[in-house]
């Protein structure tokens, strides 16, 4: 039985003081939720958010990106050991905004995946098709390539730790959500891809989130789908609604 996991992706929002205020508003509700909860916050908010969550067992903190080396001449970057030392457990990798605005490739994402796992961080790896791909009917092919490249060289034990977030690009921040059936179909397809690469047991264990305009109104239906193991939430993670989403998880 997979435990559901709901992660908030705050993107480039909230100063450190605002971040602590938001976490203090949300943390008791998230602590009581029946799913794992992760706050993926901007780098500068990580330390105060980890502090604000001391003693909270159900909530973990995640970064939104990470470099693939431990240290070196990489101006402006943050490494896995830096994140680990302050108590970060998860890292979002390959978000479509990083692919689009920062030129992140499947190859780079694979390097980051391997490094995160080597250093004990859990990747939340994002995959998803554009509107054009959806209309062309190549969603499954595209996601299959993204997953095969992201998991290249990752052994079966590490693969089981990874969270996959299915995020159709056309649904991110647009208010357009995939219907529960559309999202379920793709998430079930992702499980089949994992089974092909590894085996059925790994496919059964790995957790797959849906992300893309998930909110307090549509979360119950999406979360009820058998292959959707939680959500990666952007806009709705910045307000009290986030607790309605974590609270919608029944088991």
List of residues contacting ligand PEP (CB under 6 A) = 9, 167, 172-173, 211-214, 232-236
The residue with its CB nearest to ligand PEP is 234
Minimum separation from the CB atom of position 85 to ligand PEP (A): 26
Q: Which is nearer to ligand PEP, 202 or 220 (CB)?
A: 220
| Beta carbons within 8 Å of 136's beta carbon, 6+ residues apart | none
Q: Which is nearer to ligand PEP, 120 or 173 (CB)?
A: 173
Q: Which tokens hold the place of 14?
A: 């909230």
Between the CA of residue 122 and those of 113, 116, 119, 183, 226, what are the distances in Å?
9, 7, 9, 23, 23
Helix (H, G, I), strand (E, B) or coil at 181: helix
Minimum separation from the CB atom of position 114 to ligand PEP (A): 22
Minimum separation from the CB atom of position 242 to ligand PEP (A): 10
* Residue whose tokens read 């590894």: 198
Contact 231, 201 (CB under 8 A): no
CA 36 from centre of chain: 12
Minimum separation from the CB atom of position 86 to ligand PEP (A): 23
Closest CA to 67 of 25, 98, 100: 98
Q: Which is nearer to ligand PEP, 2 or 176 (CB)?
A: 176
Task: Give the single-character DSSP code of 201.
Answer: H
Q: Which is nearer to ligand PEP, 36 or 167 (CB)?
A: 167
Is 167 an active-site residue? yes
Instruction: Please pick, among 95, 97, 129, 184, the residue that the annotation labels catalytic.
Output: 95
Task: Give the H/E segment covering residue 85.
Answer: helix 80-85
Is 95 an active-site residue? yes
> What sign has the CA pseudo-torsion 157, 110, 142, 232?
positive
Closest CA to 239 of 22, 1, 13, 35: 22
Minimum separation from the CB atom of position 157 to ligand PEP (A): 27
Instruction: Please pick, among 97, 104, 167, 184, the residue that the annotation labels catalytic.
Output: 167
Q: Which tokens hold the place of 27?
A: 């943390």
Q: Which is nearer to ligand PEP, 211 or 247 (CB)?
A: 211
Active site residues: 95, 167
């Amino acid at each position: 039985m997979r435990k559901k996991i709901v992660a908030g992706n705050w993107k480039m929002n909230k100063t450190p003081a605002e971040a602590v205020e938001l976490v203090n508003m949300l943390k008791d509700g998230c602590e009581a939720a029946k799913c794992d909860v992760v706050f993926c916050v901007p780098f500068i908010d990580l330390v105060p958010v980890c502090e604000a969550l001391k003693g909270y067992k159900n909530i973990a903190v995640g970064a939104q990106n990470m470099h693939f080396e431990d240290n070196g001449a990489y101006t402006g970057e943050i490494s896995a050991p830096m994140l680990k030392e302050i108590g970060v457990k998860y890292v979002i990798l390959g978000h479509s905004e990083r692919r689009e605005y920062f030129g992140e490739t499947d190859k780079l994402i694979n390097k980051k995946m391997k490094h995160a796992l080597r250093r004990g961080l859990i990747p939340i790896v994002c995959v998803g098709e554009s509107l054009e791909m959806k209309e062309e009917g190549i969603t499954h092919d595209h996601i299959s390539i993204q997953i095969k490249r992201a998991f290249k060289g990752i052994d079966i034990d590490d693969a089981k730790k990874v969270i996959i977030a299915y995020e159709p690009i056309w649904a991110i921040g647009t208010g357009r959500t995939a219907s529960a059936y559309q999202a379920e179909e793709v998430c079930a397809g992702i499980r089949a891809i994992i089974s092909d690469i590894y085996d059925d047991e790994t496919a059964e264990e790995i957790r797959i989130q849906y992300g893309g305009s998930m909110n307090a109104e549509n979360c119950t239906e999406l979360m009820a789908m058998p292959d959707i193991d939680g959500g990666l939430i952007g806009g709705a993670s910045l307000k009290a609604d986030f607790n309605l989403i974590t609270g919608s998880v029944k088991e």
